[in-house]
Structure 1
Amino acid sequence: MLLILLGVLVLHLIILILLLISTSVNAWTVSSQRTLDLWYSCLYGGGYHCSPASNEDWIQAVQALMVLSVLFCLLSLIFFLCQLFTLVKGGRFYFTAVFQIFASLFVMCGAIIYTVMSPDREAGAEFGYAYILAWVAFPLCLVSGLIYIVLRKRE
């Protein structure tokens, strides 16, 4: 049982790291001359110049959803650790599971909005590794939430 709990904890930490990287790194859209992030748009021509991301509603929605996903994943980790020591024998980690599933839904919604609304897709730019990490974190987060639903506390 200890190995299962340790495995779930490591999976949760990996998901949290993936979400932190995908939310903060400047590589959601990458081209030969510029990179776009949720927070900055950087140009490479004649130096490295960064400006804040646009004030459009869709980018602010993606920013909010990604920040919420990180917060919900962190809160579910805290709730898991608290429930690990306070939950009665045979109890399930429902509260942790709900927060983890919400985090996965926030990541999915943010990535979908970015996919649909990203304006630089027509200019030959490609999605960067931070965008891909967000999509990798989504199923891992969902599976982790489902594992928490099934997981029971034992002695």
Structure 2
Amino acid sequence: MLILLAFIIVFHITSAALLFISTIDNAWWVGKDFSTDVWKVCVNITNCTVINESNSEYQSVQAVQATMILSTIFCCVAFLVFILQLFRLKQGERFVLTSTIQLLSCLCVMIAASIYTNRHKDLHESHGYPSEILNGQYGYSFILAWIAFVFTLISGVMYLVLRKRK
């Protein structure tokens, strides 16, 4: 049982780390001499422009920013609730609250990645960036966001099924 508990804790911390990295790092859309994320666009690595309200797609960017931050917060809160429930629940009770919070985290990261998938081209076109930015590809932060989605989904279901044992 101790090994299972250690695995669950490591799995949850890994999910949180993936969410932090994908939210913070500047690699959602990359190309030869540029990289973009939900916060800024960098051309030639040194020339960075913060995405601001002058962009007509700013509301889409704000939605992605907000849901990624919420997903990270929910994941961290779920971990704290899990630790509290671990010592407070009676034997045989389920970690329903932890599962619910973790599944909310899963939902938020899915919404963020889906919005970005749908709107990233409009985002770059409306801001007037060079055409080479439109010819990029999804970066590792974007891929980590989808992997975090899978991890948080598995973790949320795992907490729902998990019963406290001796």
TM-score band, normalised by the shorter chain?
A: over 0.9
The residue that corresponds to 2:111 in the other structure is 109
Amino acid paired to 1:42: C
Corresponding residue SS for 1:147:
helix
Corresponding residue SS for 2:106:
helix
Corresponding residue SS for 1:88:
coil
Deviations 1:30-86 (A, max 9, x none): 011211111111110xx7111112431000000000000000000000000000111
The residue that corresponds to 1:53 in the other structure is 51
Amino acid paired to 1:52: V
Q: Please give the alpha-carbon distance, in whole angstroms, between the structure 1 residues aligned to 2:117 and 2:62.
A: 14
Amino acid paired to 2:89: L
8 Å contact from structure 1 (residues 15, 137) kept in 2: yes
The residue that corresponds to 1:85 in the other structure is 87
The residue that corresponds to 2:146 in the other structure is 135
TM-score by length of 2: 0.88
Matches within 5 A, 1:5-154: 5-44=5-44, 48-55=46-53, 56-119=58-121, 120=124, 123-154=134-165
Q: Please give the alpha-carbon distance, in whole angstroms, between the structure 1 residues aligned to 2:63 and 2:39.
A: 12
Q: Please give the alpha-carbon distance, in whole angstroms, between the structure 2 residues aligned to 1:125 and 1:144.
A: 32
Runs of 5+ in structure 1 lacking a partner?
A: none
Deviations 1:76-101 (A, max 9, x none): 00000000111111111000000000
What's the C-alpha RMSD, in Å, of the aligned pairs? 1.4
Percent pairwise identity: 41
Amino acid paired to 1:138: F
Amino acid paired to 1:57: Q
Q: Which consecutive segments of 4 or more residues in structure 1 shift more than 3 A? A: none
Amino acid paired to 1:31: G
Q: Please give the alpha-carbon distance, in whole angstroms, between the structure 1 residues aligned to 2:142 and 2:113.
A: 7
Runs of 5+ in structure 2 lacking a partner?
A: 126-130
Aligned residues: 153
8 Å contact from structure 1 (residues 37, 53) kept in 2: no
